[in-house]
Structure 1
Amino acid sequence: MPNSFLTTLVVDFKLIKVLDFEDSPIKHLPERVGNLFRLHYLSVKNTKINALPKSLGKLLNLETLNLKCSLVTELPLEIKNLKKLRYLAAYSSSLNRNYEGDVKIHAGFSSLMELQRLILVEVDFKELKELTKLRQLRKLGIRLTNGNKKDLCACIGNLEKLVSLTILLTSREEILDIESISPPHGLQRLYLTGNMKKLPYWIFKLEYIVRIGLDLSGLTDDPMIVLQGLPNLLELRLCETCHGEQLHFKEGWFPKLKILLLVDFKEVELMIIDKGAKPNLEELLIGPYPRLKEIPIGIEHLRNLRILKFCLMLKEICYMIKDKKWKKVTQHIPEVRVTFKKEGELFHVTTKYFLSLSPVNFEQFIEKWV
């Protein structure tokens, strides 16, 4: 895509309302993009763009700015002029974590009174105070770099329309103290990263919560024991939150759960699934579990399971496939897949492919890729 095309676009198509560059090879936006005064939607998702022109502040009709998986790390100061902006997203997702990356936002953004979605911005105590003024926010994601519990709790308590909340710290070792937060009654999604000894009591009172993601260090209790009773939970993501050798799902646990991601449980050697546990589960991702060598006991009880993924577990899945019970207990699952890395590149292989190989070819494959 030549630069001349972008220049022509912003010069000759002045009435354009939507610009969606997702997945395109562009590396910059022309400065004159600010002349597209009717622009409502701008997406540079998954591009190589690393900076936004200051003229962006002239797009007074812009409602959506999508920077997901781009290289943008800082928003121009002029962003505060976009009074009609409703959606601002800048983050990248990863195989293992809920969110990665964030952008720096400058003071003055509290003028964006129509903003409904703001994910993922880096904030300190000054920006927290500005956030309290954005009363229309429904989805908020922040990485807290310098703030205290009082500021954070006051901010969240004022945002009564929130249905999705993400709070990340700069590392999993920093203390995340949110016990005194009064979350919005209608909160549906919650993602947390940091260090805490115990889950806040108010999580168990979120009757409308459907998605939870926890990337927490320091927990002394298994969070699944307490989360399993949430009546409407549909999706659960846990990263490095289990430190025992056995992972046991008991009858009646997670009655409505459909998606379960259990990442980086380094100590787990055995997984047990009782009949009647997670009866509606459709997708299960586990791994890496370097000590897990046996097929999860009771996997055959998950009759609605459609996708089973073993993440970064090529060596471990080889032990399981060699077990005579493998075909019998997994035959009801349409897709069983393993991901693995080689020289930094990620590969995906179905276990059906493994089973199609002769014993000699199977061993050659493992020798090449492990």
Structure 2
Amino acid sequence: MIQVGTLTSLGSLKAVRMHDVLRDFSISKGREESFLEIYSGQEIESPTSQRTKCRRLAIHGEHDNMYVFLKQYAPYLRSLLFFNTEHSELDFGFKDFKLLRVLDGVFFPSRALSDVGKLIQLRYLGVLMRYDAIQGRFRLRLEPQSIGKLKTLPRSIGKLKNLQTLEVTNFTDQCSRVSWKSKNMRHFVGVKSAAVMNSRLVFSNNLRTLKPVMGGRWVEDGRLANLTNLQRLKIMLSVQEELNSLVPNIERLHCLESLSLVFSSFNPIILPTAISLSHLEHLQKLSLDGEIKKLPDPHQFPPNLVKLTLKASYLEEDSIIKLERLPNLKMLLLGYCSYNWTKLVCSSSEGFPQLHIYIYNFYMIWRS
């Protein structure tokens, strides 16, 4: 009745599939116990008094009179999820949803976020940016006089002291006005503006995920080095000086499990040959996107590295000799322009002792 859906690149469970009979039974039982309600389609039926006591609500598609409908649930809701509502406007605030802990799928800009700072119980906030596929650009569906006020997320987000996850999709400069010292933040995803990271945004060492972000002054100031419990980091570097300041800061992040470095294609950035990640014993995934040419020696790689991804690296021909000596490497992905030589030859039959998955030029395969 429960089946494996998808696996991660390293083979661990990522998602499961549920048999339709079990799914229907679960939804029915969830409604009976006021645990979960799911609404889909263009029309929303008027809920009964019992159904409005539901604690978790998922809305699929677009609906009219959304606020009138949701207000009946407000005193009880703990979780509110929106799916496929890209054209609907949530033209109201969430000030009545005092117990809400999870809010996901809200598009920005929208008046729905105007009162988000009043949701003092909120643990998870997921925000999306509208994208006009026809015009091929982001759009603000507000009156011109309102656009300037909502180019960034409201400052009231800084009041969410219990927030553990902020996930923002397709934003670049959305939190630069926020003065925020969050002791409970665990996952900060989707904020990739240097202005944001150089602002008054301060994290405690409880942070586990930070991606993608820009390098800059905040790294030099030691704010990255203070995140000693960080497990997943993706950082984009625009100049060589940012990489040089990043290297000594990474050395203190002993809990890192996944590290992704993205180098600018406009300003050549060369990975220092003296760089060593051998002290990062928990690091299993490493991604390097940008010109490297010369790889570090095998003993400078993380000792337990399982997955290595290289893109646009322009590696030297003998680089494979170094990679084949990584004892625990199980997955090697060589992306577009990572290795432009006609031959890829191992030096011995004992090279790549644990390699299970090898993908070459996967970017070009995906594009085709």
Do both proteins adopt the same fold according to a TM-score greater than 0.5, normalized to the shorter chain? yes
CA distance in 2, matches of 1:237, 1:188: 14
Residues 248-281 of structure 1: per-residue CA shift (max 9 Å, x gap): 4536342321222223x1x222323431530122
Task: Give the alignment partner of residue 85 of structure 1, picking from 87, 95, 100.
Answer: 100
Q: Within the alignment, does 1:261 sit opposite 2:287 as a pair?
A: yes
CA distance in 2, matches of 1:308, 1:233: 19
Change (3 A) 1:254 1:301: farther
Counterpart mapping for 1:327-338 below 5 A: 328-338=350-360
| SS of match in other structure, 2:351 | helix
CA distance in 2, matches of 1:132, 1:188: 19
Post-superposition offset of 1:198: 6.1
Contact 2:306 2:330 in 1 (8 A): yes
Task: Give the alignment partner of residue 204 of structure 2, picking from 181, 184, 200.
Answer: 184
The total of aligned residue pairs comes to 307
| SS of match in other structure, 1:271 | coil
CA distance in 1, matches of 2:278, 2:151: 43
- Which residue number corresponds to residue 366 of structure 1? none
Contact 2:218 2:224 in 1 (8 A): no
Q: Within the alignment, does 1:132 sit opposite 2:158 as a pair?
A: yes
Change (3 A) 1:110 1:226: closer
| Identical counterparts, % of pairs | 15
* More deviation, 80-89/61-70: 61-70
Contact 1:197 1:218 in 2 (8 A): no
- Which residue number corresponds to residue 235 of structure 1? 258
Contact 1:209 1:232 in 2 (8 A): yes
Change (3 A) 1:110 1:316: closer
* More deviation, 275-284/116-125: 116-125
Contact 1:238 1:261 in 2 (8 A): yes
Post-superposition offset of 1:244: 2.9
Task: Give the alignment partner of residue 35 of structure 2, picking from 17, 31, 34.
Answer: 17
Contact 1:74 1:103 in 2 (8 A): no
- Which residue number corresponds to residue 115 of structure 1? 122
- Which residue number corresponds to residue 11 of structure 2? none
Counterpart mapping for 1:1-370 below 5 A: 17-19=35-37, 28=41, 30-32=43-45, 36-43=51-58, 49=61, 53-54=66-67, 55-60=69-74, 61-67=76-82, 71=86, 75-90=90-105, 104=110, 105-120=112-127, 127-142=153-168, 143=171, 145=173, 148=176, 151-152=177-178, 154=179, 156-157=180-181, 159-166=182-189, 168=191, 175-176=195-196, 178=198, 181-194=201-214, 196=216, 199=219, 200-218=221-239, 220-222=241-243, 223-240=246-263, 243-246=268-271, 248=273, 249-250=275-276, 252-263=278-289, 265=290, 267-275=291-299, 277-289=301-313, 291-292=314-315, 294=317, 295-311=319-335, 313=336, 319=341, 322-325=344-347, 328-338=350-360, 340=362, 346=366
CA distance in 1, matches of 2:360, 2:163: 38
> What TM-score do the two structures reach when normalised by structure 1?
0.65
Contact 1:273 1:296 in 2 (8 A): no
CA distance in 1, matches of 2:46, 2:284: 43
Post-superposition offset of 1:301: 3.6
Contact 1:51 1:71 in 2 (8 A): no
Change (3 A) 1:39 1:78: farther
Runs of 5+ consecutive residues of structure 1 not aligned to the other structure = 1-8, 92-100, 348-368
Change (3 A) 1:268 1:204: same
| SS of match in other structure, 2:236 | strand
Residues 305-345 of structure 1: per-residue CA shift (max 9 Å, x gap): 2222233x2x7567476425486533421222246356xx8
- Which residue number corresponds to residue 358 of structure 1? none
